[in-house]
Structure formats: structure tokens, C-alpha cells
Amino acid sequence: MSDTGLEKLSDEECLAHLRSEVVGRIAVIAYGLPVILPINYRTVDGDHGDHDVWLLVRTRPGNVIDQGSRHVAFEIDGIDSSRRQGWSVLVRGTLQRLTAEQGARLDTDPWLSEERDAWLALQPSAITGRRLQSLTPDWAF
């Protein structure tokens, strides 16, 4: 760990965090401007080249995510503000549209009840993460 308390997460730690969470934020370019939206997602393991996990998103056809740029960023994190520590995982990659048949087979469960029958898969090109550990004891007086 460095003097700042900031350390890089291993690939295994990043994947473990991605598999254990269900909500994150996706960043896309829509109408020429960046937009960041909270989404629920599902991971799918398999043989996907450099990274062995894809992130699946189910959304409304034609909405910002569906119409936005194909190159996206996605982030999850965990924060302990009382101890001033936490972690963050960043996924950069490309959104791929799935057919209705593929989507139904890999179905994600959307939290909103509106019609959400556009399935997208985020194919990672880079997955990175870091952890911030407090350098001061919990009970420093």
C-alpha cells in the first residue's frame, strides 16, 4: 500500500465485486453530451476473450442507454464514509445489442415494471479497480 492508502485491486477482486453487486452506474454519450445513469445489471460468465464476464442490462427500447454511444463506462463502488475508506471498480467497453431470443435466454430482472425488452451486453475491454484504506486508526484521539 502506498503512503496515500490507495491500492490497485487485482483482476480477481474486481470480478468478485462485479459478481456480488447488482446496481451500478453506466456512462454513455447521448445527444453529444455525457450522461450517467443508475442501472441494475447481471453478470454472465463464460469465454469472452480477455475478461471472463459480461454485464447484461435490460432496458426500454429507444431510451438514452439504448440510443446512446456504444462505447461506455460502468462503475460500482462501496463506501464506508465513517472510516474514510472504500473501493471502486470501473469497466470500459462496448455495448452489444442482443436479439430477443438471446435476451430471453440470459434474462435480467429489471427493477422497473415498464416494458423493458431491449437487451444489451457490455463487453469489457478494460476492468480496473482500486481501494482506499484509511491511514489513521479508527479511534485516533
Residue 46: CATH number of its domain: 2.30.110.10
Integer Cα distance of 40 and 56 in angstroms: 9
Are residues 37 and 65 in contact, defined by beta-carbon separation less than 8 angstroms?
Answer: yes
Q: Would you state the pLDDT for residue 4?
A: 60
| Cell triple for 33 | 453530451
Residue 141 lies in a domain: no
Q: Would you state the pLDDT for residue 2?
A: 46
Residue 138 lies in a domain: no
Q: Which range of residues forms the domain containing residue 74? A: 6-132
Domain count, the chain: 1
Residue 140 lies in a domain: no
Are residues 63 and 71 in contact, defined by beta-carbon separation less than 8 angstroms?
Answer: no
Residue 1 lies in a domain: no
Helix, strand or coil for residue 12?
Answer: helix
| Cell triple for 52 | 471472463
For the segment 20-79, what is each residue's pLDDT rounded down to a tens digit?
A: 999 999 999 998 999 999 999 989 886 655 557 899 988 888 888 888 889 999 999 999
Stated pTM of the model: 0.83
Average pLDDT on 16-20 reads 95
